[in-house]
Structure 1
Amino acid sequence: MQSLAPVRPRFIGLLNPSWIFTSTLRAFSSASSSANVNQSRGGLPRFFSEVLPPSKGGFVKVQGDEFWHMTKVLRLTTDDRVELFNGKGGLVEGCIQRIDRTALDFVALEDPKFLLPQSPQWHVFAAFGTLKGGRADWLVEKCTELGASSVTPLLTERSSSISENRVDRLERVILAASKQCQRLHEMILKPPMKIDSLLPLVAQSNISFLAVAEATPLITSLTSSRRQSKGLIIVGPEGDFTEKEVNMIMEAGATAVGLGPHRLRVETATVALLATLTLWFDSQQMSDC
């Protein structure tokens, strides 16, 4: 990973931004079994609830931010139909039965559905703790939309901290993005991690990709590697990893990959890596069908 100057990616049209997001949604839709709920579509408003009704006719109370969003922002009222999801693959359709000043009663119109994760399981480790101007928000939002399983703020010599206030904000961004893109399995924001703690995870992973300037192009590495549907994505801070950090991560087993001839911002490199891996492995899966 390089830093500082934003640039349009150049993987022979593969990373054209509009193509990425259109193709990503199409890929995720095609991966769903016809017997299951399509996770990228749905006409009803969807809201988060840790607890779902156990069966048809059951109810739960919706309070807090979701209650506010439903009644004050969207101005939903009694008998309006909505969906609740729990971030663990559970989804249920129902309607609003009763509203008071601080909560509403949601009644299930069907038994809840529970789905297993169907997209590739990529875990992102990115040194974004010092990003400003909403760029960290954008990074975790797009990782959520693209199906990352988790995002971990990576603490390095050049990005050594992340504030608690920012962690709280990022969790809200993830929830909002999950609702918007209608993913049923939450993306987990993990506690900040130092390089020393990352190394054992790299050693245990089947595949780990480390963004490094002037390394072998990512597409070249993919065509010569065994297909994996899960692994680690590692991106350094603005100013890049130190040479010592790169050597430590590669010695633990990571594969260094390049993202073109230009310097990319942290969030650009992260999304470029994640989008490419998601679409590449999904296309390989489709070709096997």
Structure 2
Amino acid sequence: MHLFYQPHENLFELDEEEAKHSSKVLRLGSGDIIYVTNGKGLLQKCILNVQARKVGYEVVESSLIPRRNFEVVIAVAPTRKAERNEWMVEKLTEIGVERIDFLVSEHTNPETLNRVVNQVRLNRIAASAMKQSQQYYMPVITVNNKFDTFIKDASEDSRLIAYVPEQNKVEHVFSRVRKNSSTLLLIGPEGDFSNREVELALEQGFSTVSLGPTRLRTETAAIAGCHAINLAQGLS
């Protein structure tokens, strides 16, 4: 199935990048069948109509794909390298995530934040990953979330923070997931969350969880946590 992304459901035309992909890579032409999603659950079966560089389509079937009965939210302090943040967004989207929130914590360098977190580019990467993994909902990506404000406003059913105190054992995130509910997992920056931030999170109802016996990079931790939550939700 050839899946394309068009956020404007009444436009009936692929954007320049999507049009080029359809003709140059997939070698599709007028009369071929494609599928188009708006990233909000709408799935349209369409017939292509190619006119020079303009690639339009006619909708022949339309349906709304229901959301899954649980939500995964990953709130993560960005790494210092843009490519690692981009790779992380791509993989989180492929695994399945409803929202990705980039946090500004005490150990986040504010001077590099705008350089390593480009929301326009991250949305484009998420759209590509959504299509690649045959999904119909785009994750919402937010940036510049101040840690203190963010955790005070959190309302998910399960609120977890990946943090293991020295010489202390905590449960793996897998065992703290509640079925058919929303789960928020906080992932710290290089150098981890500060003691004050951890204490504040606990005061706001967050629970500490482990991601396994080894120390993980920020982007690896986010992906491992996302996968564990999805796996826990998928098992009966």
Given the two structures, how large is their TM-score scaled by the length of structure 1? 0.73
Q: 1:250 to 1:160 in 2, by over 3 A?
A: farther
1:129 Cα offset (Å)? 4.4
**AA aligned opposite 1:62:** L
Aligned residue in 1 for 2:55: 104
Q: How large is the Cα RMSD of the aligned pairs?
A: 2.1
Distance, in Å, in 2 between the alignment partners of 1:114 and 1:228 is 20
Counterpart mapping for 1:4-153 below 5 A: 44-52=1-9, 60-101=12-53, 103-110=54-61, 112-118=62-68, 120-132=70-82, 134-153=83-102
Aligned residue in 1 for 2:103: 154
1:221/1:257 contact within 8 Å kept: no
Q: 1:136 to 1:219 in 2, by over 3 A?
A: closer
**AA aligned opposite 2:160:** F
- Aligned residues, how many? 230
1:218 equivalent to 2:175? Answer: no
Distance, in Å, in 2 between the alignment partners of 1:230 and 1:266 is 22
1:228 Cα offset (Å)? 5.0
Aligned residue in 2 for 1:177: 129
Distance, in Å, in 1 between the alignment partners of 2:103 and 2:229 is 20
Could you tell me which runs of 5 or more consecutive residues in structure 1 were left unpaired when the two chains were aligned: 1-43, 54-58, 285-289
Aligned residue in 2 for 1:242: 194
1:211/1:236 contact within 8 Å kept: yes
1:120/1:147 contact within 8 Å kept: no
Worse-superposed segment, 165-174 or 270-279: 165-174
Please list every run of at least 4 consecutive aligned residues from structure 1 whose deviation after the TM superposition is greater than 4 angstroms: none
DSSP 3-state at the match of 1:52: coil
Distance, in Å, in 2 between the alignment partners of 1:189 and 1:220 is 24
Distance, in Å, in 1 between the alignment partners of 2:147 and 2:157 is 18
Distance, in Å, in 2 between the alignment partners of 1:226 and 1:63 is 40
Q: Deviations over 1:178-213 (max 9, x none)?
A: 0100110111111320112212233x3321110002
Could you tell me which runs of 5 or more consecutive residues in structure 2 were left unpaired when the two chains were aligned: none
Distance, in Å, in 2 between the alignment partners of 1:104 and 1:74 is 13
Q: Deviations over 1:112-170 (max 9, x none)?
A: 101221152111100014235x2111211111112110101111111133226632221
**AA aligned opposite 2:171:** P
Worse-superposed segment, 63-72 or 89-98: 63-72
1:207/1:228 contact within 8 Å kept: no
DSSP 3-state at the match of 1:78: coil
Distance, in Å, in 2 between the alignment partners of 1:88 and 1:205 is 20
DSSP 3-state at the match of 1:154: strand
Q: Deviations over 1:203-261 (max 9, x none)?
A: x3321110002451215842xx7545212110000110111111111111111001223
Distance, in Å, in 2 between the alignment partners of 1:46 and 1:221 is 35
Task: Report which structure shows greater RCO (CA 8 Å, sep ≥6).
Answer: 1
**AA aligned opposite 1:128:** P
Aligned residue in 2 for 1:231: 183
